[in-house]
A and B are shown apart, each in its own frame.
Chain A
Amino acid sequence: MTIYTLEKKAYHIREQVIKMLLAAKSGHAAGSLGVADIMTALYFRYLNHQPKKPDWEGRDRFILSCGHLVPVWYATLAEAGYFDQAQLTGLRQFGSKLQGHPKRGLLPGVENTGGPLGQGVSQAVGRALAARLLKAKYRIVCLMSDGEQQEGQVWEALMTASKYKLSNLTFIVDRNNIQIDGHTEDIMPLEPLRAKYEAFGLEVLEVDGHNIKAILDCLSQAEATYEKPTIIMAHTIAGKGVSFMEQEPNWHGRAPNKEEALRALQQLRTLEGRIEHD
């Protein structure tokens, strides 16, 4: 799959997210769109996995710690073939397996149970310790949001990852600078974030979170780092691909109405206007 094909796939996943949120009438739009390129890079190039054998022991483990971004996880898993795309519109519906936050065991490919921020980070550390005990070769990748970094548990977990030199573990932080109440640096400043990670003993890489090739390079580089875990600071645009959602804290925790969804889908289908709408 070429990088261009991957980029198109990311836009298709964004379309799915918009449709899912429209049907659900609630959910987190901006963050889900913002990490679509990262999810695409992971599931269609980087991760060693078998969608038809979701419990295959040798698979790489992906942990979504910021559980509110689960719409994009569901859309990505369905696109990768873990389950039928028709299920996607069940997001947040009564009786659906697509719970509003991820629940392990309900759907193939959903590796962790979470929602309350910070918890997946510790789970990922536990997974990495387990892999070491099992002498397993697979890697653990944990995606966090930047607002999540305000949770003390994140730093407890990072200290542990560092203490045990968990080089089999790669963290990705979605640095989009917004959270539900506003901009991170207004609500509770995180900067200097890179220096904080370095002080906690992590190898820090920074990347344009919409440059799939660069994301893949960072993921590879993390594998070549020994003796410590790596964290990739992915600088993203919240709401990426939909002009009126981009960088807007208002869109952190809401879903589009029908008119907004139509405008969003048109922008996404034309790759932000770069190609003619069919």
Chain B
Amino acid sequence: MNGGAGDLIVQGEALTKRFARQKNDTITALDHVSFGARHGTLTALVGPDGAGKTTLLRLAAGLMKPDEGTLTVIGLDAARQPQAIQDRISYMPQRFGLYEDLSVQENLDLYADLHGVSHEQRAERYPRLMEMTALAPFLDRLAGQLSGGMKQKLGLACTLVRSPELLLLDEPTVGVDPLSRRELWDIVSGLVENEGLSVLVSTSYMDEAERCAHVVVLHEGKVLASGPPDELRSRADGHSFFVISQRQEPARKLQAELIDRPDVIDAVPQGGQVRVVLREREPLSLEGATLEATPPNLEDSLMMLLRQETHVRPAANAALELVKKEAQGHDVVIEVHDLVRKFGDFTAVNRTSFEVKRGEVFGLLGPNGAGKTTTFRMLCGLLPATSGTLRVAGADLRRARAEARQNIGYVAQKFSLYGDISVLENLQFFAGAYGLRNSRAEQRIEWAMENFELKQRATSTAGSLPGGFQRRLAMAAALLHEPAIVFLDEPTSGADPLARREFWRRIGSLADHGTTIVVTTHFMEEAEYCDRIMIQDAGTMLAIGTPEEVRKQAGEADRPARSMEEAFIGIVEHARERAQRQEHAA
């Protein structure tokens, strides 16, 4: 390696990159960006969707040339010597190209062949990689059959088959559950500490950025701030508080009320309370609640930085215009009893029972492969149950008349609207499929365009939209017919903090107007937005109750788990240990 620890391994000077979207329409992905990443450290690129994180990484990997400015990577000019750079670095793109029909071992061999790694080097490297990723027991399994977290680990292993001087990671933990996320980060930090690897990683998780030595905050192609996490955090000093409420209502209601206020920069439910970032350092006076100062975290300062940008809209604008639904019939809208689903020998969902009440926000939490999506598909009538009973709005959707499906809205995990037709045409189609006609259909489509800010993209094909727009469009399409129950599978996966706050603001207003919400999520802190949650692992229900109850269940008798993430990891690991013990006993 050249240079000492203090030197910059990546250095960008006034980088500008533009893309032509359509005729006469160019986007400036990077606008005079200057930044640096140091040798032997972790550097994070953070910022909302469209900030330019991926573009910056692709420039550093020598896959594109900047329009203006210079970029030096390991002492080489990225625009002039891309091949020389690529020979010495490793780049893991957002969608890493694993061959799903090849086994884990075959994937590794393939990448080793591609990078010309000799057999001696492999013999030394493979055991290291297996030890780090714990993939050794799965070498013969097809990559396509791995869980999301294991796929990312295999992707990382394939990226690391040779020993690079610089590792570029583009959102390596999108769609990965907290347990796998923690394991992935342990691998990366280990490489930095033990092998002196330099890593440049983009992420939308602020807790991940906290683990880095240096953070660059990007927004719409510009650097808003950069520095060590401590320094960035201190920008929010004195602005962060916990609101301790004496009101008998879910934290999400207080959160919604707070985030709508102009003097509040950010509000998120946390540990049964609401964490706020205030515009001024003076605590605000709130009826029935007291404020308690708390040290800021990186997300607080990111939100401060973003809200200073004039055109970042407050999440309050995301609240939906809705008509209150009249309560009718039973209070329990979803009943699941002893639900089982098997695929051959494999039990995806094992004897699960729960109920959801009208107007409740019900969260399904669990690591990758826990059975959340399978449970979801059974509730929506897409998959028959092997045994057990389930009723959604009084009917088993698998067997009921088609009209029963009028009661539900469904937002799938991956974007599932028609990519080759326009936004408007998609909305028209789903309005028609749900039996909305003429002026009623027009009125609802207008509502959707207005409330989900889709107007300016009405004629773009849905497939060409950025991720944030696609997520909004999918949700809009599922709400056109004003369903009583909405199912959302990982709706915030890959969404930036701003989009997530908007999303939950919308969910809050739906629930307040009598719509029942069933949602799966990987973000444990988002469980705090739910009225009740259920934790699943390996198809089995491990815990159910209000977030408060689940935290208590996870902690010691006198000390409940502080955060939902802690509670989740505690519950899942505890259950796995117990299962292992039982296996040994048997």
Are A and B genuine complex partners? no
Give me the interface of A with B, judged by CB distance under 8 Å.
none
Give me the interface of B with A, judged by CB distance under 8 Å.
none
